[in-house]
Amino acid sequence: MGYYLADGIYPRWPVFLKTLSCPIGDRRVLFAAKQEYARKDVDRAFGVLQSRWAIVKGPARFRFKEVIADVMYACIIMHNMIVEEEVGHVTDWVDDEAGSSSSTATPPVTRGLPLGFGEVLQRHTSMRNQQDYTQLMNDMIEEVWNRNHR
């Protein structure tokens, strides 16, 4: 299950990776700083996309992940094309044919609801699990610490 970077107003659910309001200890202070920095970048980027395309504003919970990714890529590409046209120069594209893990082919789009009603209810319940939230936070704090101290 994915998660959203969030601030303190959101509930303690494992779908929201919240900042720590009063971090104690080096690991938590580092995590809070990194999370807040990333959250602000994402807020700015989505603000730009939402101001141009209404599809980005709408709910995405019942869409397939692949469809959401395609919509986001399309909006980002169109945004970059508009910026290029407005500024009058070409964006520096990175040619990544060396086989980056981020450049994968998208499978064909499947339409309709991805899950049965029982599975939707089960996922909805798991999205609110407090123990999973605590585990996610602890795992992410350790991951950020390990990446910055190798």
In this prediction the pTM is: 0.57
- Contact at 8 Å (CB) between 108 and 67? no
Which whole number is the average pLDDT over 125-136?
86
pLDDT of residue 100: 44
pLDDT at 72 over 60: yes
pLDDT band at 101 (very low <50, low <70, confident <90, very high): very low
Q: What per-residue confidence (pLDDT) applies to 26?
A: 93
Map residue 117 onto helix, strand or coil. Answer: helix
Q: Which residues contact 127 (CB under 8 A, 6 or more apart)?
A: 1, 13, 14, 15
> Is residue 109 very low, low, confident or very high in pLDDT (cuts 50, 70, 90)?
low
Which helix (H) or strand (E) covers residue 74, if one does?
A: helix 65-87
Rounded distance between C-alpha atoms, residue 102 and residue 15, angstroms: 22
> For all residues of the chain together, what is the average pLDDT?
76
- Which long-range contacts link 13-19 to residues 24+ away (Cβ below 8 Å)? 13/127, 13/128, 13/129, 13/130, 13/133, 14/126, 14/127, 14/129, 14/132, 14/133, 14/135, 14/136, 15/127, 16/133, 17/136, 17/137, 17/140, 18/137
117: pLDDT strictly greater than 90: no
Binned at pLDDT 50, 70 and 90, residue 124 comes out as confident
